[in-house]
């Protein structure tokens, strides 16, 4: 059975309820969202594990219990007595969502202090899934440790899947961000970027430019998302283009890219062709943007994506 290990930060999410000043606590984060969709799509056809660091507090316990309930493996998650999980709050003002974060001292920022912990988490895995946010939250030395562990994982036959997920606010400056992103891309098999961000920070004129830059860095497969626009895939020198179904009722694009990545990977894991995997990924993401929230069970429960 395929085993996937997603590496990154799961945060506490406080989402507003109808009554002013009241919130519902949930758990989310880019790599966690992808892990959640992978677990829901693949069910018993794969083992999906999450690797991060959390605290020893009650909220951390609740987070792990939540992951367990959602059938995401927690066995290798590190516990830090002197840290707690990061948190974000969503504010609704005139129908617009804004986000406030408390994550600068989160436990997840310590996830790559020891290369041995990462090796242990990746032992026996087939796929490691990381994002640019995973890299961004780490101290420089720990980022080197993580990239070294991924390189070793890959040379032992594992596949590395990477979503650059550019978040300049999490980085000291743009060149540190773009350098680290390209370093990770050089040891990735599959890169899943979003063109809009890449155009801003790498100056790519078209989605094909984005695809070619990552392919030149060494990725065998690059799938470039572009909101409602054309998706461009470059695999082994062959380019294909796909048009997402138009969504007339897009209400919340949170986790569009994260769910797309899960749809694509899950499809590949069960042996779907590359082109069909892109089509299914886009169908899943289209359903996700038609609902509020990051983790949309209605988007996967139809059961028609993976069969």
User: Left (φ > 0), alpha (ψ -120 to 50) or beta: where does 178 sit?
Assistant: alpha
With CB under 6 A, what is the number of residues at the site for ligand ADP? 17
Nearer to ligand ADP, 103 or 287 (CB): 287
Token representation of residue 54: 């959390």
Q: How far is the CB of 197 from ligand ADP (least distance, A)?
A: 7
Assess 194 for contact with ligand ADP (CB under 6 A): yes
Q: How far is the CB of 231 from ligand ADP (least distance, A)?
A: 5
Which one of 127, 286, 299, 305 is in contact with ligand ADP (CB under 6 A)?
Answer: 286
How far the first Cα of the chain sits from its last, in Å, is 16
Report residue 246 CA to chain centroid gap: 23
Q: Which of 50-58, 152-160, 199-207, 225-233 is the region at the interface with ligand ADP (rule: CB under 6 A)?
A: 225-233
Which one of 253, 273, 276, 301 is in contact with ligand ADP (CB under 6 A)?
Answer: 253
Q: How far is the CB of 133 from ligand ADP (least distance, A)?
A: 11
| Interactions with ligand ADP, residue window 263-282 (CB under 6 A) | 282
Which one of 133, 285, 300, 306 is in contact with ligand ADP (CB under 6 A)?
Answer: 285
| Interactions with ligand ADP, residue window 111-140 (CB under 6 A) | none
Assess 225 for contact with ligand ADP (CB under 6 A): yes
42: which residues sit within 8 A by CB, 6+ positions away?
2, 48, 266, 269, 270, 306
Q: How far is the CB of 70 from ligand ADP (least distance, A)?
A: 21
For 49-78, b/e burial (b = at least 16 CB within 10 A) is: bbbbbbbebeebeebbebbeebebbbebbb
For the beta sheet containing 23-28, the strands, ordered from the edge strand earlier in sequence to the opposite edge, are 23-28, 11-16, 87-93, 96-102
**Are 153 and 190 contacting, i.e. CB atoms less than 8 angstroms apart?**
no
- Which residues are identified as catalytic? 258
Assess 106 for contact with ligand ADP (CB under 6 A): no
Nearer to ligand ADP, 60 or 261 (CB): 261
Instruction: Tell me the three state secondary structure of residue 253.
Output: coil
Instruction: Tell me the three state secondary structure of residue 2.
Output: strand
Q: How far is the CB of 258 from ligand ADP (least distance, A)?
A: 7
For 209-247, b/e burial (b = at least 16 CB within 10 A) is: bbbbbbbebebebbbbbbeeeebbbbbeeeeeeeebeeb
Assess 257 for contact with ligand ADP (CB under 6 A): yes
Which one of 115, 228, 235, 270 is in contact with ligand ADP (CB under 6 A)?
Answer: 228
**Are 144 and 133 contacting, i.e. CB atoms less than 8 angstroms apart?**
no
Assess 260 for contact with ligand ADP (CB under 6 A): yes
Nearer to ligand ADP, 34 or 178 (CB): 34
Q: How far is the CB of 238 from ligand ADP (least distance, A)?
A: 19
Report residue 69 CA to chain centroid gap: 20
**Are 289 and 253 contacting, i.e. CB atoms less than 8 angstroms apart?**
yes
Assess 250 for contact with ligand ADP (CB under 6 A): yes
Q: Which residues bind ligand ADP (CB under 6 A)?
A: 194, 225-228, 231, 244, 247, 250, 253, 256-257, 260, 282, 285-286, 289
């Amino acid at each position: 059975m395929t085993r996937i290990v997603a590496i990154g930060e799961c945060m506490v999410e406080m989402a507003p309820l109808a009554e002013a000043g009241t919130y519902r606590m949930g758990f989310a984060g880019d790599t966690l969202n992808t892990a959640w969709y992978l677990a829901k799509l693949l069910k018993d056809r794969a083992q999906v594990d999450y690797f991060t660091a959390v605290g020893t507090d009650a909220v951390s316990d609740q987070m792990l219990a939540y992951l367990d309930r959602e059938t995401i493996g927690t066995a290798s998650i590190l516990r830090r007595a002197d840290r707690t999980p990061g948190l974000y709050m969503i504010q609704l003002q005139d129908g617009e969502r804004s986000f406030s974060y408390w994550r600068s001292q989160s436990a997840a920022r310590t996830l790559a202090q020891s290369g041995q912990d990462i090796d242990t988490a990746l032992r026996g895995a087939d796929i490691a899934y990381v994002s640019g946010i995973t890299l961004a939250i780490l101290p420089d030395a720990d980022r080197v440790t993580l990239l070294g562990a991924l390189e070793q994982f890959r040379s032992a036959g594992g596949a590395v899947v990477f979503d650059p997920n550019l978040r300049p606010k999490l980085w000291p400056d743009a060149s540190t961000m773009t350098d680290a992103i390209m370093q990770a891309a050089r040891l990735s098999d599959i890169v899943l970027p979003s063109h809009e961000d890449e155009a801003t920070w790498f100056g790519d004129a078209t989605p094909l430019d984005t695809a070619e830059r990552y392919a030149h860095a060494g990725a065998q497969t690059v799938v470039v998302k572009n909101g409602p626009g054309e998706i461009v895939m470059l695999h082994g020198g062959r380019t294909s283009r796909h048009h997402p179904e138009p969504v007339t009722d897009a209400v919340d694009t949170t986790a569009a890219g994260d769910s797309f990545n899960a749809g694509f990977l899950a499809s590949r894991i069960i042996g779907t062709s590359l082109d069909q995997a892109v089509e299914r990924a886009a169908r899943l993401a289209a359903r996700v943007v038609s609902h509020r929230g990051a983790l949309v069970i209605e988007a996967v429960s139809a059961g028609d994506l993976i069969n």
